[in-house]
Amino acid sequence: MTSHSNSQAPHLCVLPFKASPDAIYVLRRAVRTELALWGLAGVADETELVVTELATNVIRHVGLGSAAALILACRADVIRIEVHDSSHRIPSLAQPGYASECGRGLHLLSAVARGWGTRITAFGKAVWCDVSRPESGACVRVRRASLVLNEYRDLVPAEAAPLLSRPGAQEERAAALIVDLLHWLNSQGCDPGDVLDCAQLRYEADLEAAA
């Protein structure tokens, strides 16, 4: 399973998978990690629930081991979760099997999600759900940082790119960017230590304001 992030649209994640209980576990972890990178960890529980239900429906109604794909996208005020599979069968709340097998199904999605729907695609169908996301000053800052870090990954030397691109490498990527910024500050005649102290004070003030 691979996550593809487009540097031109960093808040888009595509995760192909083979329908299975193990794949659902991997999807849930990948989604939680991606949302944390986007500064949206606060909606991880709801999003994981939606992912679990949509992926489970692929197992039940398309088949164990069938090819599918999860698309996670950050929109203006929602997280859009889409699961694409090879079946043209459209689910509905009134359709036996979709809402009744585990007592949750799409009834649960309709209660948790802001909206949901289906559409026929060239290869089958897509089922989508929107989860509302909160907006705050911290989220805006994290989103800006995410944009910069995704661009930075494409600028580093080739030998460092694998380290900064692997899953879970956000700490290394952020540290490398900070080091470059410190060198730049020094080249401009600034004191990097003073800037770090100022940044730390501002960060702590933001945390106190949000508490």
**Distances in whole angstroms, Cα of residue 50 to Cα of each of 21, 121, 122, 183:** 15, 20, 24, 44
pLDDT of 5 reads 46
pLDDT of 103 reads 39
37 pLDDT band, cuts 50/70/90, is confident
**pLDDT per residue as tens digits for the range 40-68:** 888 888 899 999 999 998 999 899 999 99
- As given in the structure block, the two tokens for residue 180 are 């470059």
Domains of the chain: 4-132 (3.30.565.10), 156-210 (no CATH)
Stretch 82-89: mean pLDDT: 93
Q: What is the identity of the amino acid at 57? A: N
pLDDT exceeds cutoff 70 at 75: yes
pLDDT of 6 reads 41
> In terms of C-beta distances under 8 Å and separation of at least 24 residues, what long-range contacts does 44-48 make, across chains too?
46/112, 46/113, 46/131, 47/72, 47/79, 47/81, 47/131
What's the pTM? 0.58
158 pLDDT band, cuts 50/70/90, is low
**pLDDT per residue as tens digits for the range 121-137:** 999 999 999 988 765 55
Q: Angle at Cα 127 formed by Cα 125 and Cα 130, nearest 5°? A: 150
pLDDT of 191 reads 93
